[in-house]
Structure formats: structure tokens, C-alpha cells
Amino acid sequence: MFRPKPVVFTAHSTAEQVAAALGPAHAKGRVALITGANNGLGLESARVLAKEGATVVLACRSLANAQKACEGITAQYADAQVRPLVLDLASLASVREAAATFLSWGLPLHILLLNAGIMAVPLSLTQDGFESQFGVDHLGHFLLTALLFDALKAAQPPARVVSLSSRLHEVTAPHNGIQFDDLVYAKTHYNPWGAYGHAKLANILHMVELQKRFDAAGASQVKCVSVHPGVIESTGLTRHGPPAGQMLSYWRKLPGLIFTVKTKTLQAGASCQVYCALSPDVVGGEYYSDCAPELTGRRHRLWNDPEQAKKLWDVSEKLVGLQQQ
């Protein structure tokens, strides 16, 4: 059967260009749930997917934020199918309620975009007592994905799970990987950037193990990937941490950093997660950057270590109150 060569995108391709090049058949009729969809990369991804004909659920910390974002999209596209959903990733109770609400709607789930996150914040704890970056960026998303696992497995066409990570994990996450013996920094010094890299490594390992779980469940057509979006000054992420200028300065001074930091527009930053949500060429379990697998070696040495990934899964299950499978 003839299959056209995949379209090649660049670091400057926008999410809208990517979706248009792939064609409406990959988005139209799909249902997408996007966390942190009221601003930044999440909102841009929601706008593009809704424009292409997907039904988009905008999961945000407050109903007001979610509704405002939905109204902004429908003001641009009168036929857009968007729905608000309250989701506070810093509260496991809120995650459970959000998952239950979505499932009660009886919708399929074709795209789960784990986009929300916080970055380089001072040491603080979630409502359930977890270090906030690990708790929000990883554990909240871990629980949400677990509660929606069956819906993702049942979706036709096959589902995608896309987790927003960061290349910063390569140089700020601990050399030995996830700090299982001190996840709340009770015994070790807390560095906001190190904790961010730690959480972003967890995002990647989560997708590696999740892909194995779908494969083992006979659902290998479900694809789970992580994404580095690039450095975008206007994502809204820096409202929780240092200003964008300080962030760029920090990145450029990191020892061992093997790439030149260049900024992207918000529209280009959202392109990779939209690509991974829609492209038929996506490879499950991979880590993507600039709409392609990251093959330059700019990854933590344990990014796909099977022992780390499985242990993180098992520990995360215990922390969020899920029974072992």
C-alpha cells in the first residue's frame, strides 16, 4: 500500500502549520483532553485542535479560567467544540473528580495532552504533602492518566498520550535519576531548577513505562510520548518562577549544556505536542523535539531506563493511592 513520505517540520514550524500539513483527517472527530489549557502552550494547542475539528476539553484549575479559554476559542471559530473541566493537579481529590466527570460524559478519549506544569518554584508542598513540582508535574498527571487508562485503551482510532517535558532535565535532574529515598527534600538540599529537572525526567519515564503497559494490555497502537517544546518566553509558565530573562541566563550558564539556547514563539513551541498528538509517524515511548525523535543525545542517561521507569510507576501508584496491578 502506497504511503506518502512524512512531512518534515523545523524548529520554526507552528502548531497550525503542522496540523494543516497533516490534514484534518487526523483531528476531525477526535476528542482531546488538555491540562493547563487556559494559557500558553496548552491554549494554543487547544485552539489549533479545535480549529481542525477536534472536540477539546480544556482542563484548568478553575472553572472561570476554563470557561474564559473556551469562550476565546469559540469567538474565533463559531463551530468549535470545546468544553471546560476543573482540574487542580496539586490535589489528588480534584484529579479524581475531574477524571470521574470526564468519564461521566460518555465521550471517547483519543488525545490526552499532559501539558500543565510549574517550574523552578520555591520549596512548597501540594495539598497531599508532595514536593510541588514532582506532585503537580508528575503525580497529578500520573493519577489522571491511570484513571483514564481504560478510556484511552478503548479509543478508536487509537489514542495518543503526550507529556510535556523539558530538555532541562538532561543537566539538572540528579545523575542517578529519580530520588526515591527523598522525594520531599527532607534530607537533601532543595534547588528549584534541580527539582524541575527531576520532575521533567519523571514525565519522560512515565511515558516509557506507560507505553509498555499499553503494549502488555494488547493496545500497542496507543502511542505514549514525551516532548521538549523549546524555550518559549510567553508560555505563562514563568509566572510561577523566575522571569524569562533570568531563565535564559540560567540555561546558558549551566555546566555541561551541549546546545545553544534559542527562543521560540508560542506558536512554534506548541507544534511538537500537536505533531505528536496527530502524526501517524509517531513512535511510542520516544522523546520528541522539533517534531522529530530527539536523536542528538540531549537526554538524561536514564531517560528510558526500564528499572527506573518501572520503579517510578510502582512508587507513584503507592503515593497516589492506587493498588498495585
Q: What is the CATH number of the domain that holds 220?
A: 3.40.50.720
Kindly report the backbone phi and psi dihedral angles of residue 193, in degrees, each rounded to the nearest multiple of 5, phi listed first: -75, -35
pLDDT at 163: 98
pLDDT at 233: 65
23: alpha, beta or left? (left if phi > 0; alpha if psi -120 to 50): left
Over residues 122-149, mean pLDDT: 98
Name the residue with higher pLDDT: 66 or 173.
66
Over residues 23-60, the pLDDT tens digits come to 989 999 999 999 999 999 999 999 999 999 999 999 99
Checking if the pLDDT of 151 tops 90, the result is yes
Tally: H helices and E strands in the chain: 13, 10
- Do residues 36 and 51 make contact, with C-beta atoms less than 8 angstroms apart? no
| Residue 8 within a domain | no
**Of 77, 196, 250, 275, which is the active-site residue?**
196
Cis peptide before 280 (omega within 30 of 0): no
Q: How far apart are CA 127 and CA 61, in angstroms?
A: 14
> What whole-number percentage of the chain has pLDDT above 90?
78
Looking at residue 296, the DSSP 8-state letter turns out to be S
Name the residue with higher pLDDT: 170 or 92.
92
Instruction: Report the chain's mean pLDDT, rounded to a whole number.
Output: 90
pLDDT at 2: 44
Over residues 253-275, the pLDDT tens digits come to 555 554 555 688 999 999 999 99
Set of cell numbers at residue 284: 511510542
pLDDT at 4: 56
Name the least confident of 163-167, 204-208, 248-252. Answer: 248-252
| Residue 163 within a domain | yes
CB neighbour burial string for 310-321, b if at least 16 within 10 angstroms, e if fewer: ebbbeebbebbe
Over residues 267-307, the pLDDT tens digits come to 999 999 999 999 999 999 999 999 999 877 678 888 889 99
| Residue 3 within a domain | no
| Residue 9 within a domain | no
| Residue 104 within a domain | yes
pLDDT at 153: 98
Set of cell numbers at residue 132: 510541588
Checking if the pLDDT of 201 tops 80, the result is yes
Over residues 100-114, mean pLDDT: 98
Over residues 205-218, the pLDDT tens digits come to 999 999 999 999 99
Q: How far apart are CA 83 and CA 115, in angstroms?
A: 17
pLDDT at 298: 75
Could you tell me whether strands 287-289 and 292-293 are parallel, antiparallel, or unpaired per DSSP bridges? antiparallel
- Do residues 211 and 284 make contact, with C-beta atoms less than 8 angstroms apart? yes
Checking if the pLDDT of 244 tops 80, the result is no
pLDDT at 263: 82
Q: How far apart are CA 274 and CA 22, in angstroms?
A: 10
| Residue 128 within a domain | yes
pLDDT at 250: 57
Name the residue with higher pLDDT: 232 or 99.
99
| Residue 67 within a domain | yes
Checking if the pLDDT of 325 tops 50, the result is no
Tally of structural domains, the chain:
1
Rounded to the nearest angstrom, the gap between the alpha carbon of residue 304 and the centroid of all alpha carbons in its chain is 16
Set of cell numbers at residue 66: 476554563
pLDDT at 200: 96
- Do residues 192 and 185 make contact, with C-beta atoms less than 8 angstroms apart? no
- Do residues 248 and 168 make contact, with C-beta atoms less than 8 angstroms apart? no
User: What is the pTM assigned to this prediction?
Assistant: 0.91
Query: Is 196 among the residues known to form the active site?
Result: yes
| Residue 1 within a domain | no
Q: How far apart are CA 312 and CA 202, in angstroms?
A: 8
**Beta-carbon count within 10 A of 2 CB:** 3
Domain encompassing residue 21: 15-320
